[in-house]
Chain A
Amino acid sequence: MATLRLRPDISLAVACLGLYLVAAAQIRHPQGSSLAIAVAAAAQPIHQATQAAITALLDLREGMRDAGATRAELALARREVEELRRVNQMLAAEVTLLREADRLVATLPPTFDRVILAKVVARDPVADHVATIDRGRRHGVRRDAPVLASEGVVGRVERVGEGVARIQLLSHPQAAAAARVLGREQEVLLTGGDRPTVTGLPAGTVLAEGTPILTTGSEGIYPPGLLLGFSRDAVVESALTQVPIRLAVRPAHVTVVAVLTPLGRDHP
């Protein structure tokens, strides 16, 4: 029995030739075949599925874009809330400072023509006994100008910068002021340091706890009548006896001060 075995290349050529003839026949007599109709019907669900998939992808992309925009808006809102909270805190601090300044202004002596209210921006009441305020030469602050808080004398201006000034507190070891004990005419000397004292009281003087110590103004810095501090219980044995006092102002708690510019004094 003979078997017909064609080589693949020859059979391929034969098949192509046959197809060529078939194609020629189709082109000569063009008409829609049932195969084309079947292909179109089979392609329909694939087209629909593709369309659905692409629509879903577009929806997903749109949704992700919306979610991204929402997240961005949320982040922006959070930042704004944070900023508002910060501003609110600053405003609250400003209100506190203004109230402090209001109290301070009410206690100022009338002998000064100009009062510069300043905020304490830095302080070292323990080691260097200084404080820094946010007003300087540009605002009219002058060296040796007295600095007051609502409770009493804080100190004097030690150094003046263009926009800031440094205050030497009364607790500074080199601070001193002419003073008097309330109800007495005798002038005494108040000296600073870790334990501020007054000296110069006549022997035999007995001071009760809490007796006010006021300025006299004779040293040329502080105006008279300002509260420096309060005496502690003491019995003066001689004029050299150092009577410990408690300063009226606690620098650690001062936030607003008044720098006085005395009448007729405008030297740098």
Chain B
Amino acid sequence: MTLTLAFLAAVVAHLAVRSAPVWGLLGATQPLLLVVAAGTRRFQPAQAGWLGLGCGLAIDVLCGRPVGPGGIASAAAGAIVAAVVARLELTGPLFWVAASLLVAAFFEAFWVSILLTLGAAPSHAWLGTVATVATAGSSGLAIAVGERAWRWWRSPERRRRRALRRR
């Protein structure tokens, strides 16, 4: 359920960041990759791969690219990063930053490779790849900060302090 909501929010965010008034660099953001990154923490590599496949296909559709390479690239990225996360036991802010960066990097690498094997030219070059990875990393960092703030807000320690202050 949470992932479904996150998927829908990411789709809306994907379209929103590409609106004309938004800063141009944010147009390289792929919020759906963050959903893939989120899935790498809770799923096995194969399941994360399926989630990545869905998100990648959505990216292809939303970006108007040939449907398929993005799904394959995202599936591979999700499976690999899930294995890495499980192996290194990444948690907390480090997980978000590392997972989002790795998912974006693997996605871009596989996507470009697949397009090259198909004889098609990618829609962007190195600068676009770097922008995608950088915005994914920044978004991961922002989510990590938000998650930390959310946990602090709902922490029992804070509730106890508030209760003591009321007395």
- A residues within 8 A CB of B64? 36, 39-40
Complex Cα gap A43–B19 (Å): 10
- A residues within 8 A CB of B140? none
Within 8 A of B (CB), among A4-33: 7-9, 12, 15-16, 19-20, 22-24, 26-27, 30
Q: How many A-B residue pairs have CB under 8 A?
A: 86
| Set B19, B45, B53, B119: member contacting A50, Cβ < 8 A | B19
- A residues within 8 A CB of B119? 27
Decide if A54 touches B21 in the complex (CB within 8 Å).
yes
Q: Does B146 contact A (CB under 8 A)?
A: no
Decide if B66 touches A26 in the complex (CB within 8 Å).
yes
Decide if A23 touches B61 in the complex (CB within 8 Å).
no
- A residues within 8 A CB of B71? 16, 19
**Chain B: interface residue count, which band?**
20 to 34
Q: Does A55 contact B (CB under 8 A)?
A: yes
Chain B contact residues, majority secondary structure: helix
Within 8 A of B (CB), among A161-178: none
| Set B18, B19, B67, B79: member contacting A19, Cβ < 8 A | B67
Q: Does B75 contact A (CB under 8 A)?
A: yes
Within 8 A of A (CB), among B60-104: 61-62, 64, 66-69, 71-72, 75-76, 79
- A residues within 8 A CB of B21? 50-51, 54-55, 58
Using known A-B contacts A15-B53, A19-B71, A26-B67, determine if residue A50 contacts B118 with beta carbons closer than 8 Å: no
Q: Does B114 contact A (CB under 8 A)?
A: yes
Decide if B46 touches A12 in the complex (CB within 8 Å).
yes
Chain B nearest CB: distance from A145 CB in Å? 71
